[in-house]
Amino acid sequence: MERMAESIMNVATTLPEGVPLAAKGLLHLGSRAAVDQTLSRLAARGELIRAGRGIYMRPVQTRFGPRSPSAEQAIEALAVQRGETIVPSGAAAANALGLTTQVPVKSVYLTSGRSRVLNLGRQAVELRHAPRWQLALGNKASGQVVRALAWLGPDEAPNVLQILRSKLTEAAKTELVSAAPQFPTWLARLIGEMVHG
């Protein structure tokens, strides 16, 4: 068991910060049960962080001691590993675009995968399953606009169209118009108003 633990830690040290280890990626070291048990023991000893069901990460060593990987890097790596689209929530997008001064208290991301919570040390990151249209334009500025408007809702969203019109590039406006057919009717109408005035 210790030889497997050493082998798993050797693999973990080659990974960049925040890249998750999954049991399926370690099956060349032994049976699934043995890999799962060893990962669990490494997490109990503090050598790995159990971020969620079947997701482990190596703590980052700093001169002040170990810390959890950054949420952004962990989310990005998880998205690549699992083949999911994962983007910041509408509240975070609205804040990034300057549409609200409210800063989200919880880290919430929207995902094409199942809803779940990742525990990165003391920080809990919530992944919420979202409809495909909210994830359509990914991490682009146009995608942020879609999520921010969806978060504001049909009553509040019309109040920010002027602000968005001045902030968006022509390319972003074109992306929004191209993607509009997949949005709910109210949102498609607002996008048309924003772009075409």
Q: Which of 82, 64, 89 is nearest to 148 (CA)?
A: 89
Q: Which CATH architecture has domain 1-67?
A: Orthogonal Bundle (1.10)
- Strands 107-111 and 60-62, by their bridges, are unpaired
Summarize pLDDT for 29-69 with one digit per residue, the tens. 888 898 999 999 998 888 888 887 778 888 887 888 777 88
Question: What are the residue boundaries of the structural domains of the chain, listed by start?
Answer: 1-67, 84-196
Summarize pLDDT for 101-127 with one digit per residue, the tens. 888 788 999 999 999 998 887 888 999
Distance separating alpha carbons of residues 59 and 48, to the nearest angstrom: 6
- Rounded to two decimals, the pTM is 0.79
